[in-house]
Structure 1
Amino acid sequence: MGEAKTDETEPRALRGARATAARRRAREDEIIRATRNLFDTVGVRDAQIEDIAQAVGINRAIIYRHFSGKEELFALTLVGYLDELAAVMRDADDPEAAPMVRLEQVASAFLDRGHEYPAFVDCALDLLSKPGNELLDSVSEGAMMRLGRGMLGPLGVLAHVLEAGNESGEFHAEDPYMLANMLYTQALGALQFARNQLLVSEASPGVPTVRRVPWEAVKRQTIRAAQAMAVADDPRD
């Protein structure tokens, strides 16, 4: 039998397309790493596109060739934080422990990580401050999918602990993923509160006073609140 003829053009074109895609992804990863570094050093509020471009050694216009805008770049930078957070929470979880202990373990890991990386809190809160339709309009479908997968990491850890508690009868979470989303959002608020370290209370009737609140107190109260929500009676009962 004669040798089969091969089309050299198609494989070469495919190789070229793959190489171009790889270069594009490598540049995107480089920009995201520079953004993350800037977040961790100067903070989210002071991070400017010009500074990111300078760190990578490119013109700022090139950043907008890779990302639809600042929101998309920040969303994809948040994914890195979320992946690391999920890994820390999984490491802290002990599937053999009682659900209440497991919830304390993963919540503590979440809070400690957020306390250590305040830029994560700022980045997450910045995205949460935007209405859902506005965020969807400013972030591409592919980026939203990556952000969704990133959020599923820590949310999944929480939801699985809540599901285990439901099965044992210790928890009564009507919708584990809804409660996981609420706990995620509340924990971010608690972390911001702890960072401000300012507690407003009443010194005397109608007279406000401000005092500092220690991190450990905020952490302890946040974990207790999460546990209380998990054991609360099902509102349908």
Structure 2
Amino acid sequence: MSSALLAIGRRRTTAERRRDRERDIIRATRELFDERGTIDAQIDDIAKRVGINKALIYRHFAGKEELFALTLVDYLGELDERLQAVDSPRKAPMNRLRSLSEVFVDFCLEYPAFADCAMSLLRRTGEELFGEITEPVMVKLGAAMASALDRISTILKAGQRSGVFDEVDTDYLANHLYTQTLGAMHMARMGLIVSRDAPAGEAGRPGHPVVHQADIDTVRSTAITATLATAVGRKALPSTTNAKVAAKPSSPAKPSTTAKRSALVQASTPARPTTAAKATSRPTTKATARRNSRTAGENQ
């Protein structure tokens, strides 16, 4: 075997080892996420779990944010497989969306670190993300998100065609539903609901705040219902909206500037008598008076 072929073989082996190590690091990161959450998963702990030096992690990833982004890609891949398993074009759009929403919510409840990891990236601006994550990793993250979001968008389009979902941009709405559900799952992650125990006492003094335990089943059902309600959108209020529009009195048409000027001229100019009016109002001459008198005598 020539030296050139041997060099190619060594390079391929090195590339394969690098990919295997990256997969091991991502797998260890996800295990620590699921055990401790994203906050308590440190780079030192990840390196120990893999059995490598901490410095080697930074040879494979630009930083902690990039490692977290690739771990999120791993979560999203599993989520997409679950979404695909329950989706069917033969179902009605409302039932399809409900099934996907249930899977998404249950996945967040099963893997709270997934929601934490996704939310941590959403809190950054696009400029910040591109500054912390290299372009190849951003492409992987975008592709993983687009796969799941496209399933939702497809269902929304089917619902629009059948007239059950609101006529809005489906790609935007799919992204909105994704972030909306993550926000609801953050409530389940906190497990807390804040309310006021009693009405305000003295003027200017609010009542005492009370912290309740959030019921997970309530959070789950509300998140699913909110997804369906958001997709229906204005379709739920057509009769009410139309009734308000019909009941609203129409504003009288405003006269144009020309019409105003014409009316003003007419009001300030005395009306000219007509031809008939001129004839009846013409003064009687002496000849006319004698003729009228003679005609009256003959008639007698």
Tell me the TM-score normalized by structure 1: 0.90
- C-alpha distance in 2, partners of 1:15/1:78? 32
- C-alpha distance in 2, partners of 1:85/1:217? 22
- C-alpha distance in 2, partners of 1:96/1:214? 34
- C-alpha distance in 1, partners of 2:37/2:214? 23
Q: 1:16 maps to what in 2?
A: 10
Task: Report which stretch shifted further, 219-228 or 59-68.
Answer: 219-228
Total equivalences in the alignment? 228
Q: 1:111 maps to what in 2?
A: 105
- C-alpha distance in 2, partners of 1:229/1:28? 39
- C-alpha distance in 2, partners of 1:119/1:83? 15
RMSD of aligned alpha carbons? 1.7
The higher radius of gyration belongs to 2
Within the alignment, does 1:167 sit opposite 2:182 as a pair?
A: no
Give the counterpart of 2:35 among 41, 46, 50: 41
Q: CA deviation at 1:142?
A: 0.8
Task: Report which stretch shifted further, 142-151 or 203-212.
Answer: 203-212
What SS is found at the alignment partner of 1:171? coil
Report if aligned partners of 1:121, 1:192 keep a CA contact under 8 Å in 2.
yes
What SS is found at the alignment partner of 1:130? coil
- C-alpha distance in 2, partners of 1:150/1:157? 12
- C-alpha distance in 2, partners of 1:173/1:202? 39
Report if aligned partners of 1:162, 1:173 keep a CA contact under 8 Å in 2.
no
- C-alpha distance in 1, partners of 2:223/2:17? 44
Report if aligned partners of 1:53, 1:60 keep a CA contact under 8 Å in 2.
yes
Over residues 172-206 of structure 1, what are the superposed CA-to-partner deviations in whole Å (9 max), with x where a residue is unaligned?
Answer: 24111111111111111111101222222233333
Matched to 1:145, the amino acid is V
Matched to 1:191, the amino acid is M
What SS is found at the alignment partner of 1:44? coil
Matched to 2:131, the amino acid is D
Report if aligned partners of 1:103, 1:227 keep a CA contact under 8 Å in 2.
yes
Give ranges in structure 2 of 5+ residues lacking alignment: 200-205, 236-300
Give ranges in structure 1 of 5+ residues lacking alignment: 1-6
Report if aligned partners of 1:171, 1:230 keep a CA contact under 8 Å in 2.
yes
Report if aligned partners of 1:162, 1:230 keep a CA contact under 8 Å in 2.
yes
Alignment of 1:146-225 (within 5 A): 146-205=140-199, 206-207=206-207, 208-225=209-226
Q: CA deviation at 1:71?
A: 0.4
Q: Which has the higher contact order (CA 8 A, sep 6+)?
A: 1
Report if aligned partners of 1:173, 1:179 keep a CA contact under 8 Å in 2.
no
What SS is found at the alignment partner of 1:58? coil
- C-alpha distance in 2, partners of 1:96/1:201? 44
Tell me the TM-score normalized by structure 2: 0.72
Q: 2:127 maps to what in 1?
A: 133
Within the alignment, does 1:230 sit opposite 2:224 as a pair?
A: no
Matched to 1:225, the amino acid is A
Over the matched positions of the two proteins, sequence identity in percent amounts to 48
